[in-house]
Structure 1
Amino acid sequence: MRKVEVVPHNPKWRDAFAQEKQQIWQVFGDNVVAIHHIGSTAIPDIYAKPIIDLLVEVKAIAKIDRCNPSMAALGYEAMGEFGIPGRRFFRKNDAAGVRTHHVHTFEVAEPEVEKHLAFRDYMIAHLEDAQQYSELKRELARKYPYDMDSYIDGKHGFIQQMNKKAAKWRELQKTS
């Protein structure tokens, strides 16, 4: 059973992202359009589960399945769509079995890409909402230390609310 752990922001997460980005780019090759750091580890000054989330935009999602053996060589487990149609999801644990990375792969222009990037950018630009999210995660981790499903469910409503705010904010950014 995995412990739900949220920790203060660690500046080393940016370097961990950059290092992993290079390795994944090599595996996926010229199919890659962009690789983004998403999730709470990409938002400065908030608590996060210490798992680096990478969002990979590719030209052709169908080509990703052929990369599963190469991703396995990097320590990743291929999870297929894992609940989100059109996604290819990979997860990586360290030698002790502790989860360290998630890779979310989508075809370019997939709406999930914009949703994740808008959420991240909105949180970076709106510190008060980011701090609310941080506190919620800390509270849920205390309340559900060994219940990841309840921890995730507890964040759901807040994330939906922030996704709506982020989408509106993103549209305003485009028009100004």
Structure 2
Amino acid sequence: MKTKKVTVIPYDYKWNEEFQKIKLDLEKTLEDSIIAIEHVGSTSVEGLSAKPIIDIDIIIKSYDNFQDVKSRLESLGYYHEGDLGISGREAFGYVEKEELMTHHLYVCPQDSVELKRHITFRDYLRTHKEDRDKYSEIKLYAAKKYPTDIDSYIETKSPYISEIYKKIGL
């Protein structure tokens, strides 16, 4: 069991502004080497409670230009962490970016199954208020019940995520 504080808070409109700041910072260096930068995860869904951590997918054409993107990210202070057991997504960490909100950064090729899952899930929750609100309640409940156990938190919300995946064909 991992002991890690689990904090879930009601949606905050500042999250989109914070994403825009990070995106701007990345775009200056990545420019023409990428297709897009997407705000994914719970903070990208207006009205959804979330852990206050921005999830970002940087979309590249293919792994052919991954090394270029990786070295550009390294010049910004990010370091490559590998796929962390999830194929089609390369994770990047960082040390001390006090001016930016805490975020998770991933680089995904445009044909990545993981990227499709992130975008499809986000877009579904953005347009289905009832499911978004139920998911929000489950997350708040799980964080309250397991405030120091990230694995149990994830386990508690997983069945509802699976239910949504079935609805959207994932």
Equivalent in the alignment of 2:13 = 11
Aligned pair count reads 166
Q: Which whole-Å CA distance do the structure 2 matches of 1:48 and 1:73 have between them?
A: 30
Q: Does 1:157 align with 2:159?
A: yes
> In structure 1, the residue corresponding to 2:168 is in which secondary structure?
helix
Runs of 5+ unmatched residues, structure 1 = 169-176
Q: Which whole-Å CA distance do the structure 2 matches of 1:34 and 1:167 have between them?
A: 24
> In structure 1, the residue corresponding to 2:102 is in which secondary structure?
strand
Question: Is contact 1:79-1:88 (8 Å) kept?
Answer: yes
What root-mean-square deviation, in Å, do the aligned CA atoms of Structure 1 and Structure 2 show?
2.3
Q: Which whole-Å CA distance do the structure 1 matches of 2:113 and 2:79 have between them?
A: 24
TM-score (norm 2): 0.85
Equivalent in the alignment of 2:107 = 105
Highest relative contact order (Cα 8 Å, sep 6+), 1 or 2? 2
Structure-to-structure mapping, 1:1-176, within 5 angstroms: 1-68=3-70, 70-72=72-74, 74-92=76-94, 100-167=102-169
Q: Deviations over 1:127-170 (max 9, x none)?
A: 110011101111110111111122112222211211221238xx
Shift of the 62–143 alpha-carbon distance from structure 1 to 2, 3 Å rule, reads: farther
Q: Which whole-Å CA distance do the structure 2 matches of 1:93 and 1:154 have between them?
A: 30
Deviation at 1:65?
A: 4.4
Instruction: Give identity over the alignment, percent.
Output: 36
**Amino acid of the structure 2 residue aligned with 1:152:** I
Higher mean C-alpha deviation, range 73-82 or range 19-28: 73-82
**Amino acid of the structure 2 residue aligned with 1:56:** I
Question: Is contact 1:32-1:59 (8 Å) kept?
Answer: yes
TM-score (norm 1): 0.82
Question: Is contact 2:88-2:114 (8 Å) kept?
Answer: no
